[in-house]
């Protein structure tokens, strides 16, 4: 049985659609306060204030 191969055009359509969906999900996550990993977490060595991620993905600020 031969496997059905995807054409380059179909592959690009699928990748483009997937990228659009991921972008939408990332924007929704940011609105909910979920850390999306688009930047480094902040940490002040002087006062100990830092950002951390909870197990459910929420970004919080706390002291060391």
Instruction: Check residue 1 and give its pLDDT.
Output: 64
Phi, psi of 59 (to 5 degrees): -90, 130
Q: Is residue 3 part of a domain?
A: no
Q: What dihedral angle (degrees, nearest 10) is formed by the CA atoms of 21, 26, 31, 36?
A: 170
**Residue 2 lies inside a defined structural domain of this protein:** no
Residue range(s) defining the domain that contains residue 24: 8-63
55 domain-assigned? yes
40 contacts: CB under 8 Å, gap ≥ 6: none
Report the predicted TM-score, pTM, of the whole model to 2 decimal places: 0.58
**Chain-centre distance for alpha carbon 6:** 28
Q: Look at the block and give the residue holding tokens 């990332």.
A: 26
* Model confidence pLDDT, tens digit, residues 18-41: 999 999 999 998 898 888 888 899
Question: What is the count of structural domains for the chain?
Answer: 1
Q: What is the pLDDT of residues 44-59, one digit of tens each?
A: 999 999 999 898 888 8
**Cβ atoms of 19 and 12 closer than 8 Å:** no
């Amino acid at each position: 049985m031969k496997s059905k191969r995807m054409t380059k055009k179909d592959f690009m359509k699928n990748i483009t659609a997937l990228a659009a969906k991921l972008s939408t999900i990332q924007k929704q996550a940011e609105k909910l306060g979920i850390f999306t990993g688009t930047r480094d977490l902040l940490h002040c060595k002087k006062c100990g204030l830092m950002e951390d991620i909870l197990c459910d993905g929420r970004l919080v600020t706390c002291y060391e």
